[in-house]
Every structure is written in C-alpha cells, then in structure tokens.
Amino acid sequence: MMPNPETAESDARIASAQSVLHSIARKIHRAVGPDLSYDDLLAYGQVGLAQSARSFDPSRGASFTTYAYLRIRGAIYEGISQMRSGERLRNPNLIASRTAAEVLADDGDSSDSSSSDAEWLVRKTESLAVVHLLGQSASGEAGIEDRQQHAPDALAERNEAIREVRRAIERLPALEQDAIRKIYWEGWTLTQFAARHGKNKSWATRLHQKIVDLLGESLADLR
C-alpha cells in the first residue's frame, strides 16, 4: 500500500515541532505549579499539535511553528480546564490558564478566509496578554513568577499595566465588573458564572471576549 502523502506531511510537522511542544509544556508547568502533572500537560499539547498538523495550510501566510504555537497552548489550557472543572481556583496563573482556553477556542479554527493565520496570531496574543493581566489584577501587582522572570524595569512596567487594568475595570459596566470579580478574583468557571445569571456557557464566553476587547483597547497605549 502506498503511503498517504498528507499523513506523511502531518507526521513530519509533528516531529518538527516536538521541541516547541516541550518548551511550552515546561513553561506552563512552571507557571501553574507541581500539583499538575507535566506528562498530562504534554499529552494535551500533543493533541493540539496533531490537530494543527492536520489543518495547517502553508498558503495562509504563517510558518507551521507560528500556526501551532498558540493552538498547542490552547490545548494544554483546555486540558487544565477539564482537570479543574468545577473547582474554585485561587492561584492566579491557574485562573488565567483556565480562562485562556476560552480565548483561544473563540475563533482559532473558524476564522473567515479573509483573516490570515498571522493576523489570528496577533489578535490572540493580544487577548492572552489581557487575560494574564486580569489574572494578576486581584492582588494589584505581578505574581511571583513574573517577579522571577522580569528585570526591575520590565517588572515596573508590568505592575503599571496591572494598575491600569484595575482602573479600566472600574470603568466597565456592573455586569462586566462582576464577571471579572467572580472569574478572575474568586475563581469561578465561565459555566458557573453563566448559571448564576440563568444563561449558558456560550453567553459567558461572548461576555468574556467583550471584556477582553474593551480592556485591550484601554491598554493599547501601554503595549
């Protein structure tokens, strides 16, 4: 039987991105703490990598590594979301990780043909930056991981961005403020927040994306 060229290409892409996958899994594992298995995170990332390898279209303006990067992260975050489903989290990195799965799933594989993968990457990177800042907004300053990874000048800029997020939150309507308090400061899931308002998860996901977009506009001058 002749080998399937598409399968061979997909396998080659998966093999070429293993170092990227391991790097992402290690960074997330350090951020979320030892209570989550590195091997589990790696397995979730492999799922995202395999999906990326099958759906990658080289004509859309991005390298495979660029295309796969956030999708691998998204698959790992979705795995964290599944493992932590129903829990009220307190760790800001876990809260941001769980919510980031919703951001990445929003339109990553359903963007219209006028939007290139490179453009999708820019949009989602900006959204994830806001999500991470929201994860730190409860305490009003960068967490220990950021303090360890950033030089003093960069850390000062990050703390200012977090303070600006707090100020921007205060300008949001009451419902959006309540969503941030419950999801990011008290560790509710999107499903739990939706149920509190008699809505479904899709409603909460759309509301969350609206919040991220509004805060992203407020923070545009800081990026």
- Higher pLDDT pick, 52 / 222: 52
The CATH number given to whatever domain includes residue 106 is 1.20.140
Residue indicated by tokens 């308090």: 181
- Does 208 lie in the same domain as 124? yes
- Higher pLDDT pick, 153 / 197: 197
Contact criterion met (CB below 8 Å) for 68 and 52:
yes
Domain count, the chain: 2
Q: What is the largest CA-CA distance in the chain?
A: 64
Which of the listed residues 83, 103, 133 is the one where a domain comes to its end?
Answer: 83
- Does 68 lie in the same domain as 110? no
pTM of structure: 0.60
- Does 141 lie in the same domain as 36? no
Which of the listed residues 56, 83, 110 is the one where a domain comes to its end?
Answer: 83
Where are the extended beta strands (E) located within 94-198? none
pLDDT of residue 1: 45
- Does 145 lie in the same domain as 103? yes
CB atoms within 10 A of CB 31: 20
**Which tokens in the block code for residue 45?**
């990332």
Q: Over 90: is that where the pLDDT of 33 sits?
A: no
Q: Is 145 exposed, middle or buried (CB count within 10 Å of its CB: 0-12, 13-18, 19+)?
A: middle
Which of the listed residues 39, 59, 83 is the one where a domain comes to its end?
Answer: 83
pLDDT, tens digit, for every residue of 93-142?
667 776 776 666 555 444 444 445 556 556 666 676 777 777 777 665 55
- Does 113 lie in the same domain as 78? no
Q: Over 90: is that where the pLDDT of 148 sits?
A: no
Amino acid at residue number 96: A
Q: Over 90: is that where the pLDDT of 41 sits?
A: yes
- Does 147 lie in the same domain as 67? no
- Does 139 lie in the same domain as 174? yes
**Which tokens in the block code for residue 39?**
């091997």
- Does 219 lie in the same domain as 116? yes
- Does 161 lie in the same domain as 125? yes
- Does 62 lie in the same domain as 168? no
The CATH number given to whatever domain includes residue 45 is 1.10.1740.10
Domain with 37, as residue range(s), is 1-83
